[in-house]
Amino acid sequence: MNSKYVLAAAAVLAGSVAMPAQAAIGFAGTVLGYFNSGQGPFPGPYGGTFPGSFPVPVSTSVVLNGPTNPADFLSLPQGSFVTVGFTDETVIDGVGNDIFISEVGASGERADIFVSRNGINFVFLGTALDSSTTAFDLASIGWTGAVTAVKIVGLDNFGGSPGFDVDFIQVLPGSIGEVPEPASWAMLIAGFGMVGAMQRRRVARAA
Ligand SMILES: [Ca+2]
Ligand SMILES: [Ca+2]
Ligand SMILES: [Ca+2]
């Protein structure tokens, strides 16, 4: 292969790797699991809006993405849990706090937070508090590598909507690993395709 084309391909590759996926705050993008312990007033997921009406049945997806006004939330009574994943960022141990769990309404609720590399084995990270955004530092548990799943387990049945009221799960930009964006991957593939096409033309000309 001509060294000029190798350099062109290398430049495309370098461009895609150097480009950070997100400069903004990251939010959980997918619900990986949900369990209802039956300690609350509904057989399925419930919560509501604050201020607004609660407890009412809700989709577990209300915990995804950023804050809304009014806040939409999922309540986790004792023993219930929700597991979320990150679809467009990689969560790592950055400088300072990394993962933030937001709860609405001051009723003294608590939830235990666990993190996982593979969605199977979970490690206890800490306990989240009510009516605030509780910050967690992955360094506090000596975490290395990426977090692919966060599990939130309700510890009580407090409040008008019994249990821990999950609003959103947030990750700071400094705790988001670099992931090539789909656009960069497209460029990368196109770059290699171009090199291939040039090679084929050269071979055709030589023949
Ligand atoms: Ca950290
Ligand atoms: Ca609450
Ligand atoms: Ca509650």
Predicted local distance difference test score (pLDDT) of residue 8: 54
Ligand number, closest to the Cα atom of 41 = 3
Smallest-distance ligand from the CA of 46? 3
Domain boundaries, the chain: 1-19+180-207, 24-177
- Ligand 1: distance of its center to the CA of 117 in Å? 16
CATH homologous superfamily of 24-177 equals Galactose-binding domain-like (2.60.120.260)
Closest C-alpha among 116, 122, 46, 62 to residue 85: 116
Whether the link from the prior residue into 41 is cis, omega within 30° of 0, is: no
Tell me the pTM: 0.77
What pLDDT, on a 0 to 100 scale, did the predictor assign at position 180? 47
The pLDDT assigned to 177 comes to: 83
Give average pLDDT by consecutive 10-residue segment, the chain, 207 residues. Answer: 56 49 79 97 97 97 95 98 92 96 98 95 98 97 96 98 98 80 58 67 71
Dist. CA 150 → ligand 2 center (Å): 19
The model's pLDDT over 56-114, given as tens digits with 9 standing for 90+, comes to: 999 999 999 999 999 999 999 999 999 999 988 889 999 999 999 999 999 999 999 99
101 within 8 A of 166, measured Cβ to Cβ: yes
Check whether the bond before 45 is cis (ω within 30° of 0).
Answer: no
DSSP 55: S
Q: How close is the Cα of 51 to the center of ligand 2, in Å?
A: 11
pLDDT of residue 2: 59
**Structure tokens of 70?**
């009014």
Reference 169, options 29, 4, 9, 8; nearest CA is: 29
Residues that place a CB less than 5 A from ion ligand 2:
105, 107, 109, 130, 159, 165
Dist. CA 161 → ligand 3 center (Å): 4
Q: Distance between CA atoms of 79 and 153, rounded to whole angstroms?
A: 6
**Nearest listed ligand to the Cα of residue 163:** 3
Report how far ligand 1's centroid is from the alpha carbon of 201 (Å).
Answer: 51
The rounded distance, in Å, linking the Cα atoms of 89 and 53 is 33
Nearest ligand to the C-alpha atom of residue 130:
2
